[in-house]
């Protein structure tokens, strides 16, 4: 399940690179949310659900783990639209 993020006009000044490493340590064998490739220390990346360019921040609730390829391809496209387009099997809920 992915929870919506409310933005209160305050950007959290925190780096995201530690998020991806921590995620992989806690969830070994995980796959990219978008393309289903296996996540490794070499290809894992933290993607912003709400891009920083559109008012998002670096809070953990606004981050998902994915591969670097999908993160770069998505850019600042809408999260839900990109996820549905890339992962046809997605059956998660959006709140």
The residues, any chain, with a CB within 8 Å of residue 3's CB and separated by 6 or more, are 61, 95
71 belongs to a structural domain: yes
pLDDT tens, position by position, 66-89: 999 999 999 999 999 999 899 888
69 belongs to a structural domain: yes
CATH number reported for the structural domain that contains residue 32 in this entry: 1.10.30.50
63 belongs to a structural domain: yes
Specify the residue for token string 């995201």. 16
46 belongs to a structural domain: yes
Specify the residue for token string 């549905």. 84
Domain that holds residue 75: 20-86
Residue 92 phi, psi (nearest 5)? -70, 170
Specify whether the CB–CB gap between 80 and 58 falls below 8 A.
no
pLDDT tens, position by position, 28-68: 999 999 999 999 999 999 999 999 899 988 888 999 999 99
Residue from 30, 71, 22 nearest 48 by CA: 71
Number of domains into which the chain is organized: 1
């Amino acid at each position: 399940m992915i929870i919506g993020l409310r933005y209160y006009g305050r950007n959290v000044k925190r780096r995201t690179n530690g998020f991806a490493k921590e995620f992989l340590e806690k969830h070994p064998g995980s796959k990219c949310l978008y393309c289903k490739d296996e996540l490794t220390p070499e290809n894992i990346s933290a993607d912003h659900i709400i891009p920083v360019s559109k008012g998002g921040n670096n809070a953990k609730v606004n981050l998902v783990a994915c591969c670097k390829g999908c993160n770069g391809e998505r850019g600042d496209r809408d999260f839900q639209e990109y996820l549905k387009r890339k992962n046809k099997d997605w059956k998660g809920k959006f709140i």
